[in-house]
Chains A and B, each alone.
Chain A
């Protein structure tokens, strides 16, 4: 049985933890709003760009001269995985979920006897992956000092990926990130970005326009495809940022609630033992008085 003093200290410490988690929740909620907005604003751009490329690919002949970024280089040996995580912890299962998914993929890739290369963005993911797959990591980037992720940061990673592709360092590229569905649900996702993966959507693309191209298709594609890689990465960044805050908010909300429950429980314990000691003292006094 802990002494009254111990209980008192314990209650005090849980209360101050609760204060911290509550504050973190508030901060996350405020940041979430901003991050969510920019994620949603970023969506039309990447969707429209994908659309244009889809239209372009429809009109391009299935020839061997199609850009490699679009159709791949015909090989399937070396995989590049870009794992995007947060730079900060205390956001529930956010980072581990991405890493879990990524590790599952890594395992499959290695099992099939293929080579694996990893780029990690964000220090938390790097920490989790390096223990097991440290040898495969070729590049690690963290945007810890940046407050807001913009196109420039995504472009930096995008250019790096394209450069590696042009040097024929890998054949296929995947990105791993958390897709922001709503505040409570974030879905870790793997997406193929090189060669550009086109979802065949028969329902929505009912109209096919015969476009005029200026200059010709190949040149436009050559300009667009690298841009598309950067944009897809930016999209992943933005979705990830929103997911991180959402995940943190939920985690901190839970932590605050748990701390509250713990305080209640401890307070009951404290009161009981206080009462017990008072009763004990009373009995002692009464029995002492009786014996006189």
Chain B
């Protein structure tokens, strides 16, 4: 019996990934979660972080919604990007932007939490 399940990543513009895998690591809002086959049906949303599919596919994500049911994993996100698509300039400008927003004091705790994760994640990318 294969231990693989179906995964699909969809943005409003197109479907950016579709395939089978054994393991997906998701940066869920309440902590990192790993999805394996036969996980119970789940709906949750994401914080900024890295989606890892198997060992080689990595995606940077800022927000999104995840649904897992019947061994189908569905990630809906407006901001998901493959690691290969992000270059250093883009990364730095995104970090600067996030830090600038973080330094303004008009943001809520929730936004702060999200921005902190965003900066941390972006710094990990190389």
Residues of chain A whose beta carbon lies under 8 Å from any beta carbon of chain B: 38, 41-42, 44-46, 48-49, 51-52, 55-56, 150-151, 154-155, 207, 209-215, 220, 223-224, 227, 231, 234
Q: A38-B13, A41-B13, A42-B13 are known contacts. Are A49 and B70 too (CB-CB below 8 A)?
A: no
Residue B30 is within 8 A (CB to CB) of chain A in the complex:
yes
A56 / chain B contacts, CB cutoff of 8 Å: 43
User: Are A214 and B12 in touch, CB under 8 angstroms?
Assistant: no
A155 / chain B contacts, CB cutoff of 8 Å: 78
Residue B96 is within 8 A (CB to CB) of chain A in the complex:
no
**Per DSSP, are chain B's interface residues mostly helix, strand or loop, or mixed?**
strand
Contact among A45, A48, A215, A223 for B67, CB-based, below 8 A: A48
User: Are B76 and A49 in touch, CB under 8 angstroms?
Assistant: yes
Contact among B33, B43, B65 for A211, CB-based, below 8 A: B43
User: Are A211 and B42 in touch, CB under 8 angstroms?
Assistant: yes
A41 / chain B contacts, CB cutoff of 8 Å: 13-15
Contact among A209, A212, A231 for B12, CB-based, below 8 A: A231
B33 / chain A contacts, CB cutoff of 8 Å: 214
User: Are B10 and A44 in touch, CB under 8 angstroms?
Assistant: yes
A263 to chain B, nearest CB (A): 43
Residue of A nearest to B77 (CB): A45
A224 / chain B contacts, CB cutoff of 8 Å: 45, 65
A124 to chain B, nearest CB (A): 24
Residue B111 is within 8 A (CB to CB) of chain A in the complex:
no
List 22 A-B pairs, Cβ < 8 Å.
A41-B14, A42-B14, A44-B15, A45-B11, A45-B76, A48-B67, A52-B67, A55-B67, A56-B43, A150-B13, A151-B11, A151-B13, A214-B28, A214-B29, A214-B42, A220-B43, A223-B45, A224-B65, A227-B65, A227-B78, A231-B12, A234-B12
Q: Which of B12, B41, B43, B76 has the most CB of A within 10 A?
A: B12
User: Are B41 and A211 in touch, CB under 8 angstroms?
Assistant: yes
User: Are A209 and B69 in touch, CB under 8 angstroms?
Assistant: yes
Residue B102 is within 8 A (CB to CB) of chain A in the complex:
no
User: Are B45 and A213 in touch, CB under 8 angstroms?
Assistant: no
Residues of chain B whose beta carbon lies under 8 Å from any beta carbon of chain A: 10-15, 28-30, 33, 40-45, 65, 67, 69-70, 74, 76, 78
B15 / chain A contacts, CB cutoff of 8 Å: 41, 44
Residue of A nearest to B42 (CB): A212
User: Are B76 and A220 in touch, CB under 8 angstroms?
Assistant: no
A150 CA / B28 CA spacing, docked (Å): 26
Q: A45-B12, A151-B12, A215-B29 are known contacts. Are A52 and B40 too (CB-CB below 8 A)?
A: no
Q: A209-B69, A224-B65, A231-B12 are known contacts. Are A151 and B42 too (CB-CB below 8 A)?
A: no
A181 CA / B10 CA spacing, docked (Å): 22
A220 / chain B contacts, CB cutoff of 8 Å: 43-45, 65
User: Are B44 and A48 in touch, CB under 8 angstroms?
Assistant: no
User: Are A55 and B13 in touch, CB under 8 angstroms?
Assistant: no
User: Are A215 and B65 in touch, CB under 8 angstroms?
Assistant: no
A150 CA / B14 CA spacing, docked (Å): 11
Contact among B41, B44, B65 for A49, CB-based, below 8 A: B65
User: Are B41 and A210 in touch, CB under 8 angstroms?
Assistant: yes
B36 to chain A, nearest CB (A): 14
A130 CA / B44 CA spacing, docked (Å): 44
Contacts A44-B10, A213-B42, A214-B29 given; 12 further ones with Cβ under 8 A? Answer: A38-B14, A41-B15, A44-B15, A45-B10, A150-B13, A151-B78, A209-B41, A209-B69, A211-B41, A212-B42, A213-B44, A214-B42
